[in-house]
């Protein structure tokens, strides 16, 4: 593959990138991820993912291998470009052996965006800026003035802002604790998190309009909550598994691993049992979780849900007032929110964040 086809000047590789992007969209469509909202297909076909991953890391026999757009070897650049359009998550930032940030699997991103059920004029807050790719997809669909993305790490927000600008999008990119939302940009119609949680922060329901939707990774699933008012929300999990980097900030330590002594191997190896065990951490010991799992015929994720009621948040199986309910960790108190009638355009300069 020659330099011209790969775009040696750092611009978009016009031939290979377009064909790889089209192939990625076909794979996502074949998986059914666009089924709930086919309108996202156009965004994925238009937004160049490779601009958001100028380098990434892949695991190899000698540890992580770095692939990057600036390699002097044309074959290495081709591997980088083709890899950017694989339907896999890409590790983009590693610190002291810990994965800090990644570009999520495109088909999972498509499924989540479709589950948001966005409409014209909706304002969206994304928790976890990552590379900026998801914010670019949202900006393409809804307009950059309707999109805010926040991340705790200033290096991540700086690079996300740069990637977005290179792709022609300028949503609000904010440096801050995602658990506290972005009160100066509220209210929002949709909140989508791209980092896993142990509970639902109170700030998110407080900053979402009544009738809005919060979509968040919790345990190893995705819960879609309909917001009733600032303190109340409820909804079920989607059927799909979801694994994300944990939300940093919020003042909460990472949970310790749960010992599985006494649990049969078939349960230990089951993704659905591990989901139940993670969701009920601190409320059910592994043996009690296993007994429930077998008694209820090994329930899928879609049978579980979450209720937010003021300061109390709990997960449940089948019904919020049913026999199976487990308290989740107490969420942080929200920051003050601007009046609901305030100008939604007020707030920091979308190009600068805070």
| CA distances (Å), origin 325, targets 202, 284, 311, 317, 318 | 19, 10, 16, 7, 9
Question: Under DSSP, is residue 184 helix (H, G, I), strand (E, B) or coil?
Answer: helix
C-alpha 26/C-alpha 286 separation (Å) is: 41
Candidate list 59, 61, 101, 342, residue with the active-site label: 101
- Length of the chain equals 354
Burial readout 330-341 (b: 16 or more C-beta within 10 A, e: otherwise): ebbebbebbeee
Per-position DSSP letters for 52-114, written without gaps between them? G-SEEEEEETTEEEEEETT-S-HHHHHHHHHHHTSSS-EEEEEETTEEEEEEPPHHHHHHHHH
101 is catalytic: yes
Measured CA to CA, the distance from residue 125 to residue 321 in angstroms comes to: 30
- Separation CA 344–CA 269 (nearest Å): 47
Query: How many Cα atoms are found within 13 Å in the side-chain-facing hemisphere of 200?
Result: 36
Helix, strand, or coil (residue 127): strand
Query: What does residue 220 show for φ and ψ, rounded to 5 degrees?
Result: -120, 35
Rounded-to-integer distance, Cα 19 and Cα 154, Å: 34
Q: Is the CB of residue 214 less than 8 Å from the CB of residue 237?
A: no
Catalytic positions, written as ranges: 101
């Amino acid at each position: 593959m020659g330099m011209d086809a790969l775009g040696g000047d750092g611009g978009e590789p016009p031939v290979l990138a377009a064909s790889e992007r089209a192939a990625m969209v076909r794979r996502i469509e074949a998986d059914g991820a666009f089924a709930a909202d086919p309108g996202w297909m156009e965004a994925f076909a238009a937004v160049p993912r490779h601009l958001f991953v100028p380098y990434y890391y892949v695991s190899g026999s000698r540890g992580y291998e770095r692939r990057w757009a600036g390699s002097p070897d044309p074959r290495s650049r081709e591997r980088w470009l083709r890899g950017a359009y694989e339907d896999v998550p890409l590790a983009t930032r590693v610190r002291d052996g810990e994965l800090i940030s990644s570009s999520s699997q495109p088909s999972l991103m498509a499924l989540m965006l479709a589950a948001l059920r966005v409409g014209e004029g909706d304002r969206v807050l994304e928790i976890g800026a990552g590379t900026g790719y998801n914010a670019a997809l949202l900006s393409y669909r809804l307009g950059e003035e309707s999109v805010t993305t926040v991340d705790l790490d200033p290096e991540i927000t700086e690079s996300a802002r740069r990637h977005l600008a290179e792709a022609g999008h300028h949503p609000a990119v904010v440096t801050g604790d995602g658990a506290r939302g972005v009160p100066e940009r509220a209210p929002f119609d949709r909140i989508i998190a791209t980092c896993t949680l142990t509970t639902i922060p109170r700030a998110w329901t407080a900053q979402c309009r009544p009738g809005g939707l919060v979509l968040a990774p919790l345990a190893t699933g995705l819960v879609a909550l309909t917001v009733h008012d600032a303190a109340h929300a409820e909804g079920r999990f989607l059927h799909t598994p979801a694994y994300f980097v944990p939300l940093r900030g919020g003042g909460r330590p990472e949970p310790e691993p749960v010992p599985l002594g006494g649990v049969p191997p078939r349960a230990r190896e089951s993704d659905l049992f591990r989901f139940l065990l993670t969701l009920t951490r601190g409320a059910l010991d592994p043996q009690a979780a296993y007994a429930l799992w077998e008694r209820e015929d090994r329930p899928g994720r879609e049978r579980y849900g979450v209720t937010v009621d003021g300061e109390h948040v709990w997960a449940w199986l089948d019904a919020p007032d049913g026999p199976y309910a487990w308290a989740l960790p107490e969420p942080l108190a929200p920051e003050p929110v601007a009046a609901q009638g305030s100008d939604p355009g007020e707030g920091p300069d979308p190009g600068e964040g805070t």
